Structure 1
């Protein structure tokens, strides 16, 4: 009997292999506290601040992609929105403080998701080809990759795109000549991981993030051409892929 070919597995990085959203939530708590202090004379609530920032932040991602400037800019734009709304004068010093607060999220030490290392070790030992496909700025994403020593598993097999879209994934698949029948996309984002994978006709696994960002949540209107699985945790991935290989061989 022919030996099954190794699978080509593309992993998302943020909130699939390492924590990401929780660090933004920490900074957003500080941002909300600041604004409610500065606007203490006005009827501004924590929920109102966060909802407006989310609206502005998501609009910025659609335009600029995953740049490192859009999050700090969203804090300043939210501040300016409420300044205009309540007729409160803006301050250069306050805006500079918000920019520095926004940038601070990129300086926090990242942590791996539970079972990250054991999952990747198992897949590597099973002979699969592992790739990392992440959204953001190359230098920042590489810094995070090094900090949790992911180069042990992916080496140079890393794709970073500022706009993580169906077109970007299609380009990666075509340029590398990946066999779609044995290619997998694994990630938390329905918008940037799962829907593009379904459109490309590859297998995909959705692992919901511990803390999800509303930007990532969209309806799925694609019909799977390959396998589409939803698993609760990373540690479920190796067995699920092994079962799919066994099923295809039987």
Structure 2
């Protein structure tokens, strides 16, 4: 049987959040706050990120805002330049394809309709898709501002899909699994040890749609 498989990108097809985590660690060391723990600084950064939005540029803005709020010394131009350098380095990190992804996509693309579905800053995400070399395995590559049930419903209507034969595959409980299930799609959860904190939720598998939890992307070939 042929299915439509929506497949997430960041931390499903290629590594992403490990680079943000390293940049955050570099930033916290640079801030070097005398009383706040790294966890407390991270918590404030999470709150600011919720307001700023996705992408390298917005993440850099979040770092600058947190630095201005927490710096124990006057904020200098050189301080801001250093933080901007963190963001530039983040944007220039290589695209590291997760093990087994390319072979699995090559196999699945012969039997199913594959649609890459990611969220975030459109220009940044399209550039990552191009740099990944994986675009040819997908019939469509889509970037949406947010993955919520309404977005999934809209895509089901746009592509005239039967939700019973449509799956969303990804590593983010909030955006890839729970939101898709709320729209009636089947789901495949592939946990990643470095999934972004703001994407973590309890996976909700109630309802009539089907659900799988797999250990690796390669295992998809055993089910599809």
Question: What's the TM-score once normalised by structure 2's chain length?
Answer: 0.92
Look up the match of 2:96.
111
The residue aligned with 2:196 is: 213
Q: State how many pairs are aligned.
A: 224
Q: Tell me the CA shift for residue 222 of structure 1.
A: 6.1
Q: CA deviation at 1:44?
A: 4.1
**CA-CA distance at 1:146 after TM superposition:** 1.8
Q: Report the counterpart of residue 131 of structure 1 in structure 2.
A: 115
Q: Which residue of 2 aligns with 1:196?
A: 179
For 1:223-247, what per-residue CA distance to the aligned partner results, in whole angstroms no more than 9, with x for missing partners? Answer: 2321111111101112123xxxxxx
Please say which structure displays the higher CA radius of gyration. 1
Three-state SS of the structure 1 residue aligned to 2:109 is helix
| From 32, 35, 39, the counterpart of 1:43 | 35
Cα deviation, 1:110-161, whole Å, max 9, x if unaligned, reads 1111100111122123x11111000122222122112221122015x01101
Aligned partner of 2:165 in structure 1 is 182
Q: Aligned pair 1:13/2:3, yes or no? A: no
Q: Which residue of 1 aligns with 2:211?
A: 228
- Return 5+ residue gaps in structure 2 as ranges: none
Is contact 1:202–1:225 with CA below 8 Å preserved after alignment? no
In structure 1, which of residues 70, 86, 89 is the aligned counterpart of residue 58 of structure 2? 70
| Aligned with residue 68 of structure 2, among 80, 90, 95 | 80
Classify the secondary structure of the residue corresponding to 2:207.
coil
Output the CA distance in 2 between the equivalents of 1:184 and 1:221.
15
Q: Is the 8 A contact 1:188 1:207 kept in 2?
A: yes
Q: What is the alpha-carbon distance in structure 2 between the residues aligned to residue 115 and residue 74 of structure 1?
A: 34
Structure 1 gaps, min length 5:
242-250
Change in Cα spacing, 1:236 to 1:17, as seen in structure 2 (3 Å) is same
TM-score (normalised: structure 1): 0.83
1:56 Cα offset (Å): 2.2
| Displacement after TM superposition at 1:197 (Å) | 1.1
Deviations, residues 187-216 of structure 1 (Å, cap 9, x unaligned): 000111101110111110000013121111
User: Structure 1 203/221 Cα, relative in aligned 2: closer, same or farther at 3 Å?
Assistant: closer
Matched, 1:162 2:154: no
